[in-house]
Amino acid sequence: MVTPLNKKKTLRDFPKTYFNGKKVFVRVDFNVPINKESNSIREDYRIRRALPTIDFLIESGAKIILGSHLGRPKGTIMKDLSLEIVSSRLSELINKEVLFCRDFMKDNLSEKVDDMPNGSVIMLENLRFHKEETANDKIFSSNLASLAEIYINEAFGTSHRAHSSTYGMAQGFKTKIAGFLVSKEIKFISRMMKEPEHPFLVIIGGSKIRDKISALGNLLESADKIIIAGGAAYTFLKANGINIGSSIYEEEMIDWVREVYKKYQHKIVLPIDHVISKSFNKDDPCSISDKDIPEEHMALDIGPKTIELFNSIIKGPGYIFWNGPMGVFEFEQYSSGTIHVARAVALATWRGATSVVGGGETIAAIRKAEVLESEISHMSTGGGALLEYLGGSQLPGIEILD
């Protein structure tokens, strides 16, 4: 039988003394965006989110081994995907030396860890520099596992992958538990799946529906209202016979969308006007169009009437889940819709709604709108993992925990 996610053991279930002097492997998600030109970290949000767990373990006197991936090096060593700058940044954040291990297979790491004083931290190089990591190789997994006595998953965003560091290595541990961040993710997402406060409002944006259909299918069932905007809206509008010009849409999804629309029409809210342009360029002229979009024009953001409509819906109280931007928010002139929605979600949270925002793009949009982390109930670090879980798939990295 599958254990409900919110019944998993977490750091909170143990006293600090339990970790004193023990070697603890923490699978973190330090897959941060890197500025290649300056070899610097563009956004350290994912590192900061793991600090409560790392601080707790330092205070407990554990010997902490941190493992993560960065990007997709596919088993080769790529200088620009090294975690060395991440380990330096972590050292600044915790105001403590963080040792860095280039290759745990060669560096006699086990002995090094034994000799480390309690409360020390060591960070391993990008685990995906070894092709065995994503292959969930048995020997690689047991080599990793041999470094520690306790396993902690603090990488919700990679928990949908059965890799060595997220799954294979955990199998051999007597104590394998969720870190503070993972347990917070589980708490909010389980509640949303099982007993969201009503009205339950879902806001879906982004470019594609295809990756989100299972999640969408389940959310359509449980939500009271569902706003569909961004590129995802144009397949719905086209299926409804509306002229979408040259806007992005998914032909292969039209039949599915027609079915869904027939069943859930009363819940679905789509854009009623758009910001359009003839080309997908940052500075080309743009204008506003009503529902039907003229030929050779593409919609790149929601229009002012739609913003007004969405503002009147995103009010709270209840539960709000938002995934995906309302337009091409990376370009200034198409960011207004997303910024307004971010601010509306924050305002609804002030009014008492529980808000969960998920996915890298959506979190970037929250920042662009200058909405503070504290103005949203929970910002989920897991894009793919979150959608897979909402779609009904199990997360091996969570399932394996005690």
Q: For binding to ligand AMP (CB under 6 A), which residues are involved? A: 205-208, 230-231, 248, 299-300, 324-325, 327-328, 330, 359, 361
Give whichever of 99 and 269 is closer to ligand AMP, judged by the CB atom. 269
What whole-number distance in Å separates Cα of residue 343 and Cα of residue 34?
A: 27
User: How far is the first Cα of the chain from the last one, in angstroms, to the nearest whole number?
Assistant: 13
**Cis peptide, bond prior to residue 199, ω within 30 of zero:** yes
**Sequence-separated (6 or more) residues with CB below 8 Å from residue 18:** 60
Give whichever of 145 and 248 is closer to ligand AMP, judged by the CB atom. 248
User: Which residues participate in catalysis according to the annotation?
Assistant: 46, 208, 360, 384
The CB density around residue 210, as the number of other CB atoms within 10 Å, is: 12
Give the SS3 label for residue 188.
helix
Query: Minimum CB separation from ligand AMP for residue 216, in Å?
Result: 12
Query: Minimum CB separation from ligand AMP for residue 396, in Å?
Result: 23
Cβ atoms of residues 354 and 179 within 8 Å:
no
Q: Which residue is nearest to ligand AMP, using beta carbons?
A: 206
Give whichever of 73 and 231 is closer to ligand AMP, judged by the CB atom. 231
**Sequence-separated (6 or more) residues with CB below 8 Å from residue 296:** 245, 246, 278
- Alpha helix stretches (DSSP H) within 200-335: 213-222, 232-239, 254-264, 304-313
Query: Minimum CB separation from ligand AMP for residue 248, in Å?
Result: 4
Helices 213-222, 254-264: inter-axial angle, 10-degree rounding: 10
What whole-number distance in Å separates Cα of residue 316 and Cα of residue 346?
A: 10
Give whichever of 157 and 359 is closer to ligand AMP, judged by the CB atom. 359
What whole-number distance in Å separates Cα of residue 36 and Cα of residue 19?
A: 38
Give whichever of 67 and 205 is closer to ligand AMP, judged by the CB atom. 205
Query: Minimum CB separation from ligand AMP for residue 80, in Å?
Result: 22
Positive or negative CA dihedral for 107, 165, 16, 381? positive
Give whichever of 71 and 199 is closer to ligand AMP, judged by the CB atom. 71
What whole-number distance in Å separates Cα of residue 183 and Cα of residue 398?
A: 10
Query: Minimum CB separation from ligand AMP for residue 163, in Å?
Result: 22
| Six-digit token string for 84 | 């060395």
Query: Minimum CB separation from ligand AMP for residue 69, in Å?
Result: 19
